[in-house]
Structure 1
Amino acid sequence: MIKATDLPDIVPIFPLPGALLLPRARLPLHIFEPRYLAMLDDALKSPSRLIAMIQPAVHGQGEPNALHQIGCAGRLTQFSETEDGRYMITLTGMSRFRVIEELSGFQPYRRCRVSWDAFERDLGPSEKDTQFDRSGFLRLLQRYFDSRQLSTDWDNLENADDELLINSLSMMMDFQPEDKQALLEAPSLSTRRETLVTLMEFALRGGDQEDLLQ
């Protein structure tokens, strides 16, 4: 099993609003900007093959290029090149981290010194949600999807394990970036599920999600 001490202290940062990566989950990305192509090339040459996803801070709060303090690093597990030199990649979530400082340098992309402390659970086995009312959760999810005229494979959802179900929905659903950050920072799977339920219920009541978790 990988330990936090096995992870690098400095990671390349990919700030992408609304993009959420969680431990043990997979995030597909389309890479085409030159600076991120350079980041991908360097990540492929590194032993860890890590790229760290992080949300930019809300506009108007602090510095214009400020980042949230907590993100999640993923290992590059799949990539393919298109004919015009772009890449389709997949990151598999490894662990969340806390930013210590952003580093300057000659690279065209951003890098940060990070701490993996307090996120040891991310490197362990899949989490369980012992209080999970799956049938009630799926009824709420059905209402939410119906309200947005969305469809899904309900058989797969019903059979998915707790972590895969909750984390996949947290990543794919169209919440505000600050709400996505709240899902990322949830200390446990049950807390993330409770946050996800709150977001769906609030949306069904016609609330303004932008103000929900700020």
Structure 2
Amino acid sequence: MISSADLPETIPVFPLPGALLLPRSRLPLHIFEPRYLAMLEDALKTSHRLIGMVQPLPQSGRGGPKLHSIGCAGRVTAFSETDDGRYMITLSGVSRYRILSQVDGFSPYIRANVSWDGFARDLGPSEHDPAFDREDFTPLLSRYFRENNLSTDWDSLKQADDEMLIDALSMLCPFSVEDKQALLEAPTLSDRRQTLITLIEFALRGGNNEETMQ
């Protein structure tokens, strides 16, 4: 397990729209672009093996990609190479971070100076949500899955603990980039659950532009 003292000041950053990583969760990734193959190779040479996932902002004008300021770093905990040189990897979520600045200089991928301040709970034990009412939530989720033609292992969902269930749904549900960012930035598991329910209810209402999400 990585401690706060092991967290580096500079990490490689992987901007990938809609790919949400949360602390203590796992994200499978398919790496094939040359710049990200180089990023993976460099990350594997470090003791922490961290890669920072982050949501990109819509491009406006020239220059490098615009990024959200908060992302989540994951440790490469599994990887396998295909016959044609691509990699299938798994990132295990370690901690959220805040981008302070992008590192100048030649690199095929983005490197950023980051701060881990304010995210101490990410390095702690799994969170619980005492106010989570599964009896009310399950029918809502079932309707959302049905209307979006999604399938899942309902038995596994029933057996999952609060954090695993809420975070898995946050990562897997087909929300927008901005919605994924809202789920990432939720300070606590309870906040993330409330945001998740709001997004599901909003989607079930048809996402009417005249409605304002609270």
* TM-score, length of structure 2 as denominator length: 0.94
Please report how far the alpha carbon of residue 136 of structure 1 lies from its aligned counterpart in structure 2 after TM superposition: 1.1
Q: 1:177 to 1:62 in 2, by over 3 A?
A: farther
Corresponding residue of 2:17: 17
Corresponding residue of 1:40: 40
Corresponding residue of 2:56: 56
How big is each residue's C-alpha offset from its partner over 1:109-128, in whole Å with a ceiling of 9 and x where there is no partner? 10000000000000000000
For these two proteins, the number of residue pairs brought into alignment is 213
Q: CA RMSD in A?
A: 1.9
Please report how far the alpha carbon of residue 64 of structure 1 lies from its aligned counterpart in structure 2 after TM superposition: 6.1
Corresponding residue of 1:132: 132
Corresponding residue of 1:6: 6
Please report how far the alpha carbon of residue 213 of structure 1 lies from its aligned counterpart in structure 2 after TM superposition: 5.9
Partner secondary structure for residue 53 of structure 1: strand
Separation in 1, partners of 2:64, 2:184 = 22
Corresponding residue of 1:28: 28
Q: 1:183 to 1:61 in 2, by over 3 A?
A: farther
Please report how far the alpha carbon of residue 3 of structure 1 lies from its aligned counterpart in structure 2 after TM superposition: 2.8
How big is each residue's C-alpha offset from its partner over 1:20-43, in whole Å with a ceiling of 9 and x where there is no partner? 000000000000000000000001
Corresponding residue of 1:178: 178
Corresponding residue of 1:198: 198
Separation in 2, partners of 1:41, 1:196 = 35
Separation in 2, partners of 1:156, 1:145 = 15
Corresponding residue of 2:105: 105
Counterpart contact for 2:198–2:213, Cα < 8 Å: no
* TM-score, length of structure 1 as denominator length: 0.94
Counterpart contact for 1:178–1:213, Cα < 8 Å: no
> 5+ unaligned residues in a row in structure 2: which ranges?
none
Partner secondary structure for residue 174 of structure 2: coil
Partner secondary structure for residue 192 of structure 1: helix
